[in-house]
Each structure stands twice: as C-alpha cells, then as structure tokens.
Amino acid sequence: MPELTIAPRGEPIGYTLGGHDNDTYLLVKSEVCEGCGLISPEKRRDAISSDVRVKKRRMDVSATYDGFTIVSTKFKGWVESHYPDGVAFQPLLSDPTFYVLSVSREIAFDSARRKTRFLNFCPVCKQYEEVIGATPGYVKATPEPFSGLYRTDIAFGSGNSKHYLVIIDPKCYLECKQEHFAGAVFHPVYKS
C-alpha cells in the first residue's frame, strides 16, 4: 500500500501495469539455493509448472500468487501490434491461451527516494528475502525515447514471489485504458 509520508511530486512520468490476482501458483518445487532455500532468480523461469491452468480465466492481465504476470491472447495481440519492443510471451504448456509476460528493457528504480527496504541478503544467490516498498513508484530517469513496456531493475515482494514492476509510458497507458483489458491495474510512477 502507498505510504502517505512519501508524497509524490509533479505529474506521473508513467504507470505501473499489473493485474488482479488469479488465484493461481505457477512455481513447482525445484532446485533451491542452499543458502536461503529460495529459488535463485535466474532459475525462476525454469521452475514454472508444466501442468498448471489459470483458475480465474476472464482477465486479460492477472497476477499469480508467486509473482508472475499472466496475459490473455487479446492482450498479447495488442502489445505485439503496438508496443512489441523488449516484450516476450511464454505460453503456459497446459493452458496455451495464457502467457507469462516478460519485459526486458530496464528502468532504474529509486529505492532511496522510495525508502524501499531490503531484508535478509543471501550471499550465495545474491538476492534479498524481502524487498518492501514499491508504490508509489519512483524512477531515477526515463529512457529517451520512452515508449511501451519496461521493467524496474529491482524485484519487489518476498520469498519466491518477488517480481519486477512493469512500467509503461503515458501514451501507452491511455491507449491501454481504452482497450479496457479486464483485470489490468495501473498505479502512477514519478521521477525522483
């Protein structure tokens, strides 16, 4: 939840794009780090179950309990025809009309400005157990040009549910809103 003590300054530079929860877990028990018992960040994608189906099926954008953003064929088609740069869609093996969204272009999150807290660093796999404090979002700078989908350089959340925030530029936000994608949730992002 936003903390009122961290007042936003000026107009948003963009918006986070996320989804309502879909009552689903994607990760299976897999090889974990011997230091912390969590799945290493680089092995997370390989730990996606091959037999999961999305439980709440009417949303175009939704979120699993373990931090993945799931999108529909409609959302995938729209992004591919409007903002394809740096975006990939991995179909669920047992539910191939739903896709795991991944975004590769990074924006540096300003964790000092946001007073984000990093708890319990694991020296073996180099991740924190918990990273708390994502909204309202602050970024250090915006890319030039700034168009389409990006992600933060920091993953937020706890344990194996940590995930990057997807950030979209204001024009993409307005167009996205016009599409009325079911389940999509937006929050303003500011420049520090």
Judged by the rule CB under 5 A, the positions of this chain that interact with Zn ion are: 33, 35-36, 122, 124-125
Q: Which two tokens stand for residue 10?
A: 């000026």
Q: How does strand 149-158 pair with strand 137-139?
A: unpaired
Sign of the dihedral through C-alpha 89, 91, 92, 97: positive
**Least CB distance to Zn ion at residue 37 (A):** 7
Q: How far is CA 8 from CA 1, 4, 18, 83, 191, in A?
A: 14, 9, 20, 28, 9
Please, which residue, 33 or 185, has the CB nearer to Zn ion?
Answer: 33
Nearer to Zn ion, 36 or 154 (CB): 36
Count of alpha carbons within 13 angstroms of residue 114, beta-carbon side:
24
Would you tell me the crossing angle of helices 170-179 and 73-82 to the nearest 10 degrees? 140
Least distance in angstroms from the C-beta of 140 to Zn ion: 27
Spatial CB neighbours of 36, under 8 Å, sequence gap ≥ 6: 120, 122, 124, 125, 127, 129
Cβ(147)–Cβ(169) below 8 Å: yes
Measured from the CB atom, the residue of 128 and 190 that comes closer to Zn ion is 128
**In the numeric block, which tokens belong to residue 190?**
């500011």
Residue 45 CB, nearest approach to Zn ion (Å): 17
Comparing CB distances to Zn ion, the nearer of 36 and 176 is 36
CB of 11 to Zn ion, least distance (A): 39
What's the min distance (Å) between Cβ of 65 and Zn ion? Answer: 21
Considering beta carbons, is residue 33 or 100 the nearer one to Zn ion?
33
